[in-house]
């Protein structure tokens, strides 16, 4: 969780948002038990842009995490330089399918731990073991609300994607 927040924190254009207020009608579809304070969810996609260098402009696409939206991922990975799997450390196991997806896609990706309590309760290497993340995949911590933190996460991704191309 934190994808919409991350795109909003770093984007230099007004982020396109497609939030909908969650009602009790989505209660059976979206598991809210671990995130009782959450009131909106993304129904299509987040979109933003960030200039990292004068000749390096990233376009950011935040896709909804729910399984019923995964068909969008297949299109996005084709043009993307890489992906960030944003992990809500309160719901570690939820991101396993996403990690599995990107391991199989061949697209360079990194894992960003969204530390909700402000403290890092999960150590990167424990998460790597728990989620079976390969040794070459970077794991970083990130506070999606803070621009600098979100930006450095994206820089890590770009560096990783460039390295993957050189291999």
Ligand X SMILES: Nc1nc2c(ncn2[C@@H]2O[C@H](COP(=O)(O)OP(=O)(O)OP(=O)(O)O)[C@@H](O)[C@H]2O)c(=O)[nH]1
* Residue 124 dihedral angles phi and psi, to the nearest 5°: -50, -45
Site string for Mg ion, 42-61 (x = CB under 5 A): x-------------------
Q: x-or-dash pattern for ligand X, window 137-156, by CB under 6 A?
A: ------xxx-----------
Q: Round to whole Å and give the CA distance between 94 and 108.
A: 20
Q: How far is the CB of 80 from ligand X (least distance, A)?
A: 18
Show the site string, 55-94: x = touches ligand X by CB under 6 A, - = not: ---------xx-----------------------------
Task: Give CA–CA dist 113/144, Å, rounded.
Answer: 9
Element (H, E) at 124: helix 124-131
Do β-strands 109-114 and 19-21 pair in parallel, antiparallel, or remain unpaired? unpaired
Return the SS3 of 14. coil
Among 16, 31, 34, 38, contact with ligand X (rule: CB under 6 A): 38
Return residues touching Mg ion (CB under 5 A). 3-4, 42
Return residues touching ligand X (CB under 6 A). 1-5, 38, 41-42, 64-65, 114, 116, 143-145
């Amino acid at each position: 969780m934190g994808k919409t927040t991350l795109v909003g924190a770093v984007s230099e254009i007004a982020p396109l948002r497609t939030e909908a207020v969650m009602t009790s009608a989505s209660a059976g579809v979206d598991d809210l038990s671990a995130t009782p304070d959450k009131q909106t969810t993304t129904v299509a996609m987040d979109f933003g842009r960030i200039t990292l260098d004068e000749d390096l402009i990233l376009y950011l696409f935040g896709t909804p995490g729910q399984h019923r939206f995964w068909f969008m991922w297949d299109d996005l990975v084709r043009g993307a330089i890489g992906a960030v799997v944003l992990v809500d450390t309160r719901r570690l196991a939820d991101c396993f399918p996403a990690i599995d997806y990107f391991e199989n896609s061949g697209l360079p990706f990194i894992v960003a731990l969204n530390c909700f309590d402000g403290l890092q309760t999960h150590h990167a290497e424990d998460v790597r073991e728990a989620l079976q993340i390969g040794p070459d995949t970077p794991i970083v911590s990130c506070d999606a609300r803070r621009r600098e933190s979100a930006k450095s996460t994206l820089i890590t991704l770009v560096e990783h994607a460039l390295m993957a191309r050189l291999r």
